[in-house]
Structure 1
Amino acid sequence: MNKHHEIAMVGCTGKKEGTKMNEKLSYTDHRQRIKSRYLKNGLSAFYDYEILEFVLTYAILRKDVKPVAKDLIQRFKTLSGVFDAPVQELVKIRGMGLHSAILIKLIRDCLEHYLRQHLFATDCINSPQALLRYCTASMAHCPNEQFRVIYLTAKNRVIADEILQQGTIDHIAIYPRTLAEQSLRHNAKALIFIHNHPSGDPLPSAQDRDLTRTLRAAIEPLGITVHDHIIIGKNGYYSFREQGDF
């Protein structure tokens, strides 16, 4: 190799290193701008993919994560769809490792935990909207049906919040005897039933109405009041009490 060729090779290598350095500075500056926007205005002016991009900067440290964020939105359609996606689906997105997927699920679970603590902060359910926010966050996007029972004292103080039964995508089996045993074990004086419809439509089926009547008939002779049965779906909720079904 002659001297002239060596100089050319050095110049080429220097150009590549300079390009990489410029790219690093570019996305480092971009991350700082995102942080500054957030500190100034919160998330109100962010697109969904920008929120994800901001989150991913704390899991993927040395890479431009905007393409990953956009791919997540494209695959799961919405920001809530991303946060509700299982870890095993998140890691299928190019650039998403287990560390990043866990961070997204952790944020989702922290939200549910926050809403639960906020709802039960005084050990008393006194806000129907807070109850709906909690139930929607925890149940609306579950792939299978869940039947949850909130056990209350006579003054509506929360004794326990339990998932009584889990089922399939369109069916769940609830046994009145199990409900009665759990209610007596907790010494509950009132109950709220909540279950989800994975289909997204919260309107009750004939089976839902029959189940509600059966459970009330089994529990109310024990001196336990059923305050409501709420069905949660992606598209809203249905309250038996609000609709005059109680």
Structure 2
Amino acid sequence: MTEADASAPHYLGHRERLRERFRKGGADALGEYELLELILFRAMPRRDVKPLAKALIARFGSFAETVSARPERLREIDGLGEAAIVELKIVEAAAKRLAKSAIEKRLTLSSFSAVVDYCRTMMAFLDHEEFRVLFLDKKNCLLADEVQGVGTIDHAPVYPREIMRRALELGACAIILVHNHPSGDPQPSADDIHMTQQIIAIGKPLKVAVHDHLIIGKHGHVSLKGLRMI
């Protein structure tokens, strides 16, 4: 070992070993905190980031929940600077862009699993409730995916007539309603069911069908159509 090797920070060798494991085995070869380390390397080139990566997982629960966390919550973590927060949000944005690109090409009623995967990517780990609508043409291809309401941890405002007005503007023949439950439990509430019935009733004379209402949780989803509530 040379004098330069002996004086080099211990984490440099760790970084190269981690990168090599990723090159050979991909993401499955790494733990969740180790994936975070790879991201933090770029923003913190002169620091051992393993303790910070572990602290992020301990605080938010998982890799997905960490990169999905709002910047103001990430700023609460000691030692996590703006450059590192930007790197995390770039990963989130890239995941959502990839998911949206895939769903735009594949969305038909025969690809229900692809719709669910897309919605989970977009919404499952949000810390607030969000209501979005997928607008479909007569071939059940995606015309638009739009967030119609953003709210608190347990409520997002929804305006059924505005949803139908937008469907007519886009020339949509059908819609899929989607919202998340930040609590993690995707079971529909009485309000969820009542609101869905309202939208169906408004859309029927306009010939805009409601194909489904998906409720997304951290660990699963519920389809109102699957529950025979539509």
Q: TM-score, normalised by structure 2?
A: 0.91
Aligned to 2:132: 148
Bigger Cα displacement from structure 2, 133-142 vs 100-109: 133-142
Aligned to 1:73: 57
1:33 to 7, 11, 17: 17
Task: Give the direction of change, closer, same or farther, for the CA distance of 1:121–1:245 in structure 2 (3 Å limit).
Answer: same
What one-letter code is carried by the residue in structure 2 that aligns with 1:48? E
2:166 is the counterpart of 1:182: yes
| Secondary structure of the corresponding residue to residue 202 of structure 1 | coil
How far is the alpha carbon of 1:200 from its aligned partner?
A: 1.3
Q: Partners in 1 of 2:33 and 2:152 — Cα distance?
A: 32
| Secondary structure of the corresponding residue to residue 187 of structure 2 | coil
2:145 is the counterpart of 1:161: yes
Q: Give 5+ residue unaligned stretches, structure 2.
A: none
Q: Partners in 2 of 1:222 and 1:76 — Cα distance?
A: 44
1:130 to 97, 114, 119: 114
How far is the alpha carbon of 1:65 from its aligned partner?
A: 1.3
Count of residues paired in the alignment: 229
| Secondary structure of the corresponding residue to residue 48 of structure 2 | coil
Aligned to 2:221: 237
| Secondary structure of the corresponding residue to residue 118 of structure 1 | helix
Task: Give the direction of change, closer, same or farther, for the CA distance of 1:107–1:183 in structure 2 (3 Å limit).
Answer: same
Q: Partners in 2 of 1:132 and 1:61 — Cα distance?
A: 37
Q: Give 5+ residue unaligned stretches, structure 1.
A: 1-17
Q: How does 1:9-158 map to 2 (within 5 A)?
A: 22=6, 24-122=8-106, 124=108, 126-158=110-142
Q: Partners in 1 of 2:25 and 2:99 — Cα distance?
A: 23
Aligned to 1:211: 195
How far is the alpha carbon of 1:235 from its aligned partner?
A: 2.6
Task: Give the direction of change, closer, same or farther, for the CA distance of 1:207–1:92 in structure 2 (3 Å limit).
Answer: closer
How far is the alpha carbon of 1:172 from its aligned partner?
A: 2.9
Deviations 1:179-238 (A, max 9, x none): 221111111111111111122111111111111111100011111111101111113111
**What root-mean-square deviation, in Å, do the aligned CA atoms of Structure 1 and Structure 2 show?**
2.0
Q: TM-score, normalised by structure 1?
A: 0.86
| Secondary structure of the corresponding residue to residue 229 of structure 1 | strand
How far is the alpha carbon of 1:97 from its aligned partner?
A: 0.8
| Secondary structure of the corresponding residue to residue 27 of structure 1 | helix
How far is the alpha carbon of 1:138 from its aligned partner?
A: 1.1
